[in-house]
Amino acid sequence: MFLFTKKTSVRICQFLLGSAVVAVLSLPQAQALHSYHGVITSSFRASAQQAGVDNQLIAAFTDIFSPRLDFKRELRRGDRWRFVVKDRREGIAAAEYVPRRGRRLRAVRYEIAGRSALHYSPDDSHSLQRAFLRTPVKGGRITSTFSRRGRFHPLLRVVIPHFGVDYSARIGTEVMSVADGVVVRATYNRINGWYVKLQHYPFYHTAYCHLQKIAPHLKKGKAVKQGDVIGYVGASGRATGPHLHFSFYERGRYADPLRKQFPPKTSVPQPYRADFQQQARNWLSLLPPYPPGA
Ligand SMILES: [Zn+2]
């Protein structure tokens, strides 16, 4: 872990880093700047803990990159990561994940007046968040994928198509809306059990089935935001055990959400791009160096 102090801006940091370290001591309300790095041996959590990263920052790092990286399935031994934190309330200022194979991911926090701060990629100025989340349940394990040809249904004892993705998770696990949208159904039927169907943008729908219960106050016509809790994993309706059946529709037809390339949720608006790129360069220069040979 690297540690030094700063007052208000990155530029000051760089100045202090370069020479006048003594000046740090005389700065009022100096803030600590922390940075961390590591190499994956088993999981991200394991290597982060080894580097002294606390749980809150582990979660923050995972949240930043999870729209682009499946922390359960896509991490490989030897992948490298690093990040820098300005202050605890603002969280991670800049972060990088470098897989041994494949493209590196980078993220820089940027705040545009009147909007909440987001992490954008310095490579294309797009948000790392996609218009749709990769998964509606945190920590859910995929137990059945989308299949038009079908699979053997253990309850019905016949082969039927599976127009969705099943996530196994404990009863009561929060289910999130994968995108901003409007509730078009929040009700019960014999097959789906308690379920919620949402409409997103003009052409997309998602459905969340076999819920234990629907989130309180969720009603037809209500607007939801990406990541809002809309219900809880259960086994209602025709279900063999607790899981979420998640369906995705494009122009009214079932589609496989795992095969979709979703557009970024948003981008740094053109008038801010030069400033974002400048700030990004500053923050990225503060990332700690990887150890030699890593
Ligand atoms: Zn299913």
The first and second tokens of residue 225, run together, are 């935001």
In order of start, what are the domains of the chain with their CATH numbers?
A: 2-129+268-285 (3.10.450.350), 141-259 (2.70.70.10)
Q: How far is the CA of 165 from the centre of ligand 1 (A)?
A: 6
Which residues lie at CB < 5 A from ion ligand 1?
164, 166, 245
C-alpha to C-alpha distance for 80 and 161, rounded to whole angstroms? 40
Q: Which two tokens stand for residue 287?
A: 């990332």
Query: 13 or 141: which carries more pLDDT confidence?
Result: 141
- Rounded to an integer, what distance in angstroms lies between the CA atom of residue 49 and that of residue 55? 8
Task: Using alpha carbons, select from 243, 222, 221, 218 the residue that is nearest to residue 164.
Answer: 243
Query: Residues 160-210: pLDDT tens digits?
Result: 889 999 999 999 999 999 999 999 999 999 999 999 999 998 899 999 999
Distance of CA 244 from the midpoint of ligand 1 (Å): 7
- Give the residue among 46, 91, 32 at the shortest CA–CA distance from 107: 91
pTM, two decimal places: 0.72
Ligand 1 centroid from CA 264, angstroms: 27
Which two structure tokens, joined as six digits, stand for 194?
């308690």
**Residues 236-278 pLDDT 10s:** 999 989 999 999 999 999 999 999 888 899 999 999 999 999 9
Cα of 263 from ligand 1 centre, angstroms: 25
Task: Please give the distance of CA 112 from its chain centroid, rounded to a whole number.
Answer: 20
Between the CA of 137 and the centroid of ligand 1 the distance, in Å, is: 14
Going from the Cα of 150 to the center of ligand 1, the distance in angstroms, rounded, reads 11
* 135 C-alpha to ligand 1 centroid (Å): 14
Work out the number of other CB atoms within 10 angstroms of the CB of residue 136. Answer: 26
